Homo-oligomer: A and B are copies of this chain.
Amino acid sequence: MRKVFQEELTQVGDQLVEISRLVSEAMDKATTSFEVADVDLAQDVIAADARIDFLQNSLDERAIDILALQGPVASDLRMIVGSLRMSASLERMGDLARHIAQLARLRYPSTVIPESMTGTFKRMAELDQEIADKLTVLLETRDLEVARDILKANTAINDLHLSVFKAIAAPEWKESPATTVDVALASRYFERFADHGVSVAQKVTYLVTGAWQPTGTEHS
């Protein structure tokens, strides 16, 4: 009985890793479609998001079954409840990758971002990709050094996000209103993606150490 239970816990952990991998892949494709205006790739990301949603639901059902049938306590219980929350954050990261792909599709055959901003967005995309990849590693290894890297990458993204809003408000900004809004929303999507990544990293940290970083992150 005990052995079955441990296997079930392991399966929940594995499923989180699988979702995290799919999120990372989605973000990779989404940012490429966004940077080079590849509408087919954007379409892939949009279609593949359903799979992430499905896996999230299936993980949640499994977690609830474990709660019902095994009545886990202490660290096992924290792990199950933590998994429910992490799966919700990962699912939202998948949604944000989809939003980025949807922007790419909406503006195709143009690119979303004006020339002057491509460097900034390229850097944000790289940092988000780093966060997504490291999240998978963190979920597999629980190496808290990796969690710290994720927090660092998030700080860099926040700075870039602020710089985008400053650029938009500056007198030199001459883009159309539609482009201006695209830039603002895209920047927000990249920033939110990182924030949800931090949420997951904090939950792993909590499961390992019993202490959160003081949160201070946004979830909306």
- Interface pair A92/B184, CB less than 8 Å apart: no
Asked if B177 contacts A95 (CB within 8 A), the reply is no
Q: A184-B181, A219-B92 are in contact. Are A68 and B74 (CB under 8 A)?
A: yes
Which residues of B sit under 8 angstroms from A93, Cβ to Cβ? Answer: 220
A interface, how many residues as a size bin? Answer: 35 or more
Residue in B81, B88, B95, B175 whose beta carbon sits within 8 Å of that of A67 in the complex: B81
A17 within 8 A of B: no
Add 20 more A-B contacts to A181-B184, A185-B188 (CB < 8 A): A64-B78, A67-B81, A68-B74, A84-B85, A88-B88, A92-B219, A95-B219, A99-B220, A168-B177, A168-B181, A169-B177, A169-B178, A177-B177, A180-B180, A180-B181, A181-B181, A184-B185, A189-B220, A192-B220, A196-B220
Contact in complex: B180, A177 (CB < 8 Å): yes
Q: Mark A45-83, 1 if CB is under 8 A from B, else 0.
A: 000000000000000000010011001011001100100
Pairwise interchain contact A220-B180, C-beta atoms closer than 8 A: no
Alpha-carbon gap, A46 to B182, bound state (A): 27
| Cα–Cα, bound, A184→B188 (Å) | 11
Assembled-state Cα–Cα distance A171/B10 (Å): 56
Closest CB pairs A-B (n = 4): A71-B71, A95-B220, A92-B220, A181-B184
A164 shortest CB reach to chain B, Å = 10
- Interface status of A218 (Cβ within 8 A of chain B): yes
Minimal Cβ-Cβ distance residue in B for A219: B92
Using A95-B218, A96-B220 as known contacts, say yes or no to A178 and B188 having CB atoms under 8 A apart.
Answer: no
User: Are B84 and A81 closer than 8 Å at their CB atoms?
Assistant: yes
Given contacts A95-B219, A96-B220, A219-B92, contact A177 B173 (CB under 8 A): yes
Q: Mark A156-188, 1 if CB is under 8 A from B, else 0.
A: 000000000100110001010110110011001
Instruction: Report B-chain residues with C-beta under 8 Å of the C-beta of A92.
Output: 219-220
Q: Within 8 Å of chain B (Cβ to Cβ): is A38?
A: no
Interface check A28, CB cutoff 8 A: no
Cα A177 to Cα B168 in complex, Å, equals 6
